[in-house]
């Protein structure tokens, strides 16, 4: 059945274009409907001229690198998502049992996957290593060791190749910060879809970490995110869609895509009490600095 125009599954309308071009610092074009060309054209039409395509597993990271090589406006990051490492070590729920994974050498399989991420990270179109980090929301205690081992390996890869580290941090603020202290963070570290409060933002600011805000900062129940944005140094703030997820209000629940970045930028400008051009200019400069392009 075709989608109803204006229905809950229909793409939101194009927002008014931004006066200053910006970048979507974190998106998943491979998870969105339509073509890459179509997504980029819609984004450019509203002032989103650059996107960072993020890998979450080996195949997705390979696709990200290939796509960034094919389009000048796309940069790639490559990684095993925090929830991917436990799946590799403990067994793919769509295939191996956990016991079978151990018998087949789950640790060796993780090493092989990390070796491919390392190879991809050396490519010039790959500007970051991530999204990596920790996630205690979806991964239980039996997967935490593999998750942390993977995170530490990604930090080492990022530092060795001089690439940005892109962090996924879900219900793990203290442990993520601990591992970064223990390993030594790369020169450029980005907290993707920043999920902390004002206190967490001050800790990240003191360490010089970039904080990337997504459409969920517009949600009614997201006052802690807005408080964090209010105290984050303007020169450490980025914007992202995390599309197709986290579509900003008033379109929450509908498909997200890079062309909706202006909605979040305007909400961010309102929180900071600045005009949207000032917000967009800061975001543009910061994203280029974070990903060294």
CA distances from 113 to 44, 59, 98, 267 (A): 34, 10, 18, 39
Can the peptide bond before residue 250 be classed as cis, meaning omega within 30 degrees of 0?
A: yes
pTM for the whole structure = 0.93
State the pLDDT confidence band at 139, using cuts at 50, 70 and 90: confident
CB 265 within 8 A of CB 19: no
Give dist(CA 290, CA 38) in Å, integer: 26
- What are the residues whose beta carbons fall under 8 Å from the beta carbon of 201, sequence distance 6 or more? 194, 211, 227, 228, 229, 231, 232
Average pLDDT over residues 99-114: 71
- Selected residue with higher pLDDT from 93 and 135: 135
Phi, psi of 232 (to 5 degrees): -70, 135
Give dist(CA 67, CA 72) in Å, integer: 9
Give dist(CA 66, CA 74) in Å, integer: 10
Q: Which domains does the chain have, with CATH numbers?
A: 22-82+119-291 (3.20.20.140)
Average pLDDT over residues 139-156: 93
pLDDT at 149 over 80: yes
Average pLDDT over residues 95-114: 63
Residues facing residue 96 across a β-bridge = none
State the pLDDT confidence band at 4, using cuts at 50, 70 and 90: very low
Give dist(CA 287, CA 76) in Å, integer: 13
State the pLDDT confidence band at 101, using cuts at 50, 70 and 90: very low
Give dist(CA 261, CA 218) in Å, integer: 12
């Amino acid at each position: 059945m075709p989608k109803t125009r204006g229905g809950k599954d229909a793409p939101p309308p194009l927002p008014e274009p931004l006066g200053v071009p910006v970048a979507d610092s974190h998106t998943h074009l491979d998870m969105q409907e339509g073509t890459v060309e179509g997504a980029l054209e819609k984004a450019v039409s509203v002032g989103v001229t650059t996107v960072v395509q993020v890998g979450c597993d080996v195949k997705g990271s390979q696709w990200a690198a290939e796509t960034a090589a094919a389009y000048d406006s796309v940069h790639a990051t490559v990684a095993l998502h925090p929830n991917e490492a436990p799946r590799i070590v403990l067994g793919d729920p769509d295939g191996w049992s956990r016991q079978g994974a151990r018998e087949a050498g789950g640790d060796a399989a993780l090493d092989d996957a990390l070796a491919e991420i390392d190879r991809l990270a050396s490519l010039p179109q790959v500007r970051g290593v991530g999204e990596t980090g920790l996630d205690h929301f979806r991964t239980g205690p039996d997967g935490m060791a593999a998750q942390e081992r993977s995170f530490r390996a990604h930090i080492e890869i990022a530092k060795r190749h001089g690439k940005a580290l892109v962090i996924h941090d879900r219900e793990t603020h203290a442990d993520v910060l601990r591992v970064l202290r223990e390993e030594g963070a790369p020169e450029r570290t980005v907290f993707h879809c920043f999920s902390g409060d004002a206190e967490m933002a001050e800790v990240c600011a003191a360490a010089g970490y970039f904080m990337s805000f997504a459409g969920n900062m517009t949600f009614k129940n997201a006052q802690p995110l807005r408080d964090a944005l209010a105290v984050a140094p303007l020169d450490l703030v980025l914007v992202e869609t995390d599309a197709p997820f986290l579509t900003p209000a008033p379109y929450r629940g509908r498909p997200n895509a890079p062309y909706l970045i202006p909605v979040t930028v305007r909400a961010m400008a309102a929180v900071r009490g600045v005009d949207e051009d000032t917000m967009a200019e800061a975001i543009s400069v910061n994203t280029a600095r974070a990903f060294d392009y």
